[in-house]
Amino acid sequence: MIPGNELKLGRARQHFSEASRLLAAYLGAKPYDIRRDENPTTGLSFWITLKAEPPEDIALAVGDCIHNLRSALDHIVYELSCHTAGQHVPDTAFPILVSPQKWKSISGQQLRAVPGPALTRIELLQPYNGLDAMYWTRERLLQVHELDIADKHRNLNLAVANVPETGVLYGHNGPQLKVIAVHKGRLIEGIETLLLRFDPSVDVRAQVEPYTSLEVVFEDPSPLNRAPAAGRQSPPIDEWDVEATVKGLVIGVDVVLREIRAFFWFELSRTSQVLNRDGSGRQGRVRFVSLRGSGALEHRFDSRVRRRRRTRFDWRDPVIH
């Protein structure tokens, strides 16, 4: 049986793929019009009008993806707790904290059955330790937590299209032209916005063709900007591209889950060391549930040769050498 944390991560990836497909369809349809304005006083200008906001299905798919990422983290803690205790352990969760004062009380309840080394690792991943580059997953965890909370109360607002900083270009068959204005920021449906303007010295009849690209961004990115890393500023509001941000969250949670999975085999390895100290000459047996498989797997240790054996465990396919 596939464990819950892997199922939740897999479902998150499905929702991300759905969101990516919807984003590609929306942007591929070019949901905007560009109008040429040959005004000799102000200069040759191009105006852009957004015809349609991103569909709500994108926000729904993104919200479902984030919720499943958060759920996968809670599942891995529950599964490790039950694995360690050998029984059902209720009221577990993966805490994501911005204040160290809450760690002792919350971890004492939610992580009470988690083995010591895993507990140390989970604490190290807490955002209150600092959002530095070495522990980049802390920031991803914080973003997942905050966006999940936001999505519980309302749909994530993605109804804003953005012209990125390098997203306005122009084609011209002559020398380079002097540009005096380029738009960067939000677009509002039905509102004409100046996209590109050339200096009045440029011939308004010049053969110029503007090119632009849009991004779909988080309209309310406060969860993403709440706790910037020390020593650096968070990106401006209009730079939180939805697809790139959510992809980073999926990768970050996947990395954290892989780290925690390693502690399943830490406990098994410790059990095998106890068997190795048994001098009775009898065969010992340790029984555990594989994270990938349909049931319990049994491995037999022969006490007569176990001192000459080195045990290696891989969470994907446990083997004995």
Helix or strand (DSSP H, E) at 14:
helix 4-28
Residue 212 lies in a domain: no
Residue 177 lies in a domain: no
Q: What contacts 239, CB < 8 A, 6 or more positions away?
A: 162, 164, 217
Helix axes 116-124, 103-110, angle to 10 degrees: 140
**Same-domain check for residues 280 and 242:** no
Q: What contacts 124, CB < 8 A, 6 or more positions away?
A: 135
Residue 172 lies in a domain: no
Residue 299 lies in a domain: yes
Q: What contacts 7, CB < 8 A, 6 or more positions away?
A: 75
**Same-domain check for residues 112 and 129:** yes
**Same-domain check for residues 232 and 100:** yes
Residue 76 lies in a domain: yes
Here the tokens at position 92 are: 């577990």
**Same-domain check for residues 131 and 8:** yes
Amino acid at 73: L
User: How many domains, the chain?
Assistant: 2
**Same-domain check for residues 294 and 232:** no
Residue 37 lies in a domain: yes
For residue 80, what pLDDT is reported? 95
Alpha-carbon gap, residue 15 to 67, rounded angstroms: 10
Alpha-carbon gap, residue 275 to 185, rounded angstroms: 64
**Same-domain check for residues 259 and 302:** no
Alpha-carbon gap, residue 260 to 93, rounded angstroms: 13
**Same-domain check for residues 260 and 278:** no
**Same-domain check for residues 295 and 231:** no
**Same-domain check for residues 246 and 283:** no
Q: Determine the 3-state secondary structure of 278 from DSSP.
A: coil
Nearest in space to 198 (alpha carbons), one of 163, 174, 170, 165? 170
- Grade residue 172 by pLDDT with cuts at 50, 70 and 90: confident
- Is 195:155 a contact under the CB 8 Å cutoff? no
The percentage of residues in the chain with a pLDDT greater than 90, rounded to a whole number, is 59
Here the tokens at position 88 are: 């059902």
Q: Are strands 160-163 and 185-187 parallel, antiparallel or unpaired?
A: antiparallel
**Least confident window among 59-63, 88-92, 116-120, 295-299:** 295-299
Mean pLDDT of the chain: 80
Amino acid at 146: E
Q: Determine the 3-state secondary structure of 122 from DSSP.
A: helix
Is residue 144 predicted with pLDDT exceeding 80?
A: yes
Is residue 152 predicted with pLDDT exceeding 90?
A: no
Amino acid at 252: G
- Grade residue 268 by pLDDT with cuts at 50, 70 and 90: low
**Same-domain check for residues 112 and 256:** yes
- Is 214:168 a contact under the CB 8 Å cutoff? no
Residue 209 lies in a domain: no
**Same-domain check for residues 132 and 256:** yes
pLDDT digits (tens, 9 = 90+) for 5-23: 999 999 999 999 999 999 9
Residue 203 lies in a domain: no
Range of the domain at 240: 4-159+219-264
Q: Determine the 3-state secondary structure of 181 from DSSP.
A: strand
**Same-domain check for residues 274 and 145:** no
